[in-house]
Structure 1
């Protein structure tokens, strides 16, 4: 997996002719309540720095999970940081603490003259459309949303999250000793459905292979930021015989992982490799490489490619989702089986469900 990720990043790097040896961040805090701005100049005064600054700037607006959510917002920001390292582009972010921050944060990025503005998360779909209609000369992009009709200055980025979710569900099913596992979602919706039903189908696949019943306890936190609620839900699951809980809940998932650590059970991370949050209690993670997608799409825009009016879709076949290569808490034999399942998904033999209608078919 690491080799594939590196290959993707190298592909992005080859698209540009500039190299970077170092960057310097100039962080400034916005006095507007509920927002934080971090701007980076792409310049470094050290003698070793040969980066040339390019006339291209990218802004990013987080959803309510915040830039340090240990999940997809943080991954998106890491993608922009890598873009700056490789190209010298200016980058910045604004943090949203509530949904009413979306529109003013997008407006501020427009006012600052950004060439491309990212909205992170499907919850920003309406705000992005409104901003795009108001500012037809500005390019916008959004993670985890596809529009029926995509405006010429909007780019959607989607991931087939049901694919890595199926794989970690399969792993959970093969690993569980109690025959009961859990799933904690943030808020019900099309995107989280991919995680839930992909995971449930993977557990079912393992149960069929083992010839036994494995149940999945599913609960939603109705939040992507309330880690205390995530911890409370997962703690109850663990006390009710679940020995593995997968979360797709942004910052809520930090609480899920804390609960696993306290209970001496396993959690499955999401979006990024979250093993560092509890090295002995994270079984694996369902990777959704938002950082790779953000860097690739932003690089295309920087190079003058028309990215608007379309939706990019990434999955296992594009090596943009999967599980970490290193999984010290996983039985190596189970890892090998999971890699076989990944290949079956890539070649179309297994088609993981992405919602209730496709589940069980």
Structure 2
């Protein structure tokens, strides 16, 4: 069952330009280089498990609340310009709203997850949010062992989560918004080739790639064109991924994969690879304007502003609002295990503004994207990705 996010007065719809501008400005307070790219108590290269004791903080100017919201990142860290960073913003927004304590711990490898979650339990957290698919086992085990603590997990909703009544999944149907991103890319390419690659072959990655490829296919059918997608074959569920043990934390590897796609003719690239996706931004920037990107998870012109001139748009997930609402619900004793599903309909996912490309995206394309959004919401357009979360 879908639950709408409380947006706090900010309209997340891509069609509401003024609302998105407010969102971008608000996000910039957190994502700015001098802001919260590094969470309080977390220094680059440090053992961030220390944040369980030294990284906790309460709202400035008020008494410390007995309620403490806590977060564990995956190995991308809180400054990943992507889903960890956006989720962390949700916790800091909740802190400002409620005047609560917060604590956080960064993970540097998969081996850190269980101990980092336990460190938040030991820190007497009221709610613990795990960011990312890969924390699922650790979060589920801890939720079962600690029924008096609320837990939330970003980007996963497994059937066995039902066994933990104190665990809330926060998931997003990004196949819908990526479909729009694929249509946009197909409308903007000059070479007739667009590309995509992932950090790992997992559902929360391939869902973007599926939607992107299907959006390109839809453009081709509508326009009688033959734009090619490099890096992903939706029918075979196979494509290009960043090499190495952790494809999400390999910027040079991401740059190499992007460069390979560019060498094959792709002039627009969608990286779905967390921090490794910055490699695609680097490759695009080095092209002198010949290659551009569509970013994912958050508005890239906010989280990676120095690359904005090469970001046409971004496929966002409203993880900040989903996290904030889970924390508020826990604080207000209204927490439930009912999954949150972000969709185009509730603005839990969508396309960010075009920023520097606003004058380059044609009026026809903008109108067509609005129509496509409505048709996806109504069910007129069916997206077939097997990675879509259930409603």
After TM superposition, the structure 1 = structure 2 runs for residues 169-248 of structure 1, keeping only pairs within 5 Å, are 169-218=182-231, 219-222=240-243, 223-248=247-272
User: d(CA) in 2 for partners of 1:86 and 1:229?
Assistant: 39
1:158 is matched with 171
User: d(CA) in 2 for partners of 1:296 and 1:137?
Assistant: 19
| 1:306 Cα deviation from its structure 2 partner | 3.0
Instruction: Give CA-to-partner distance per residue, 1:97-130, whole Å, 9 cap, x none.
Output: 1001000100000000000001100111111111
Answer yes or no: is the 8 Å Cα contact 2:186–2:192 preserved in 1. Answer: yes
Correspondence 1:343 to 2:374: yes
Instruction: Give CA-to-partner distance per residue, 1:137-190, whole Å, 9 cap, x none.
Output: 221110011121321111111100101100000000111111111001111111
1:68 alignment partner, SS class: coil
Structure 1 residues 134 and 343: alpha-carbon distance in aligned structure 2, compared to 1, 3 A threshold: same
Aligned length: 337
User: d(CA) in 2 for partners of 1:317 and 1:187?
Assistant: 28
Instruction: Give CA-to-partner distance per residue, 1:239-275, whole Å, 9 cap, x none.
Output: 2210000011110111111111111311110111102
User: d(CA) in 1 for partners of 2:147 and 2:370?
Assistant: 44
2:141 is matched with 130
2:104 is matched with 93
User: d(CA) in 1 for partners of 2:335 and 2:191?
Assistant: 52
Structure 1 residue ranges (4+ consecutive) displaced by more than 6 angstroms after TM superposition: none
The correspondence for 1:331, drawn from 345, 361, 377, is 361
| 1:213 Cα deviation from its structure 2 partner | 1.2
User: d(CA) in 2 for partners of 1:212 and 1:356?
Assistant: 27
Answer yes or no: is the 8 Å Cα contact 2:71–2:128 preserved in 1. Answer: yes
| 1:53 Cα deviation from its structure 2 partner | 4.6
2:89 is matched with 78
1:42 is matched with 59
Cα RMSD of the aligned pairs, angstroms, is 2.6
The correspondence for 2:324, drawn from 295, 318, 323, is 295
User: d(CA) in 1 for partners of 2:356 and 2:137?
Assistant: 41
Structure 1 residues 347 and 123: alpha-carbon distance in aligned structure 2, compared to 1, 3 A threshold: same
| 1:335 Cα deviation from its structure 2 partner | 2.3
| 1:52 Cα deviation from its structure 2 partner | 5.9
2:312 is matched with 283
The correspondence for 1:314, drawn from 317, 342, 352, is 342
Correspondence 1:118 to 2:129: yes
1:13 is matched with none
TM-score by length of 2: 0.80
1:16 is matched with none
User: d(CA) in 1 for partners of 2:314 and 2:42?
Assistant: 33
1:58 is matched with 69
Instruction: Give CA-to-partner distance per residue, 1:168-215, whole Å, 9 cap, x none.
Output: 000001111111110011111111121010110001111112212111
User: d(CA) in 2 for partners of 1:339 and 1:144?
Assistant: 26
Answer yes or no: is the 8 Å Cα contact 1:36–1:95 preserved in 2. Answer: no
Which consecutive unaligned segments of at least 5 residues does structure 2 have? 1-6, 13-18, 24-37, 232-239
1:4 is matched with 11
Correspondence 1:272 to 2:298: yes
Structure 1 residues 26 and 270: alpha-carbon distance in aligned structure 2, compared to 1, 3 A threshold: closer
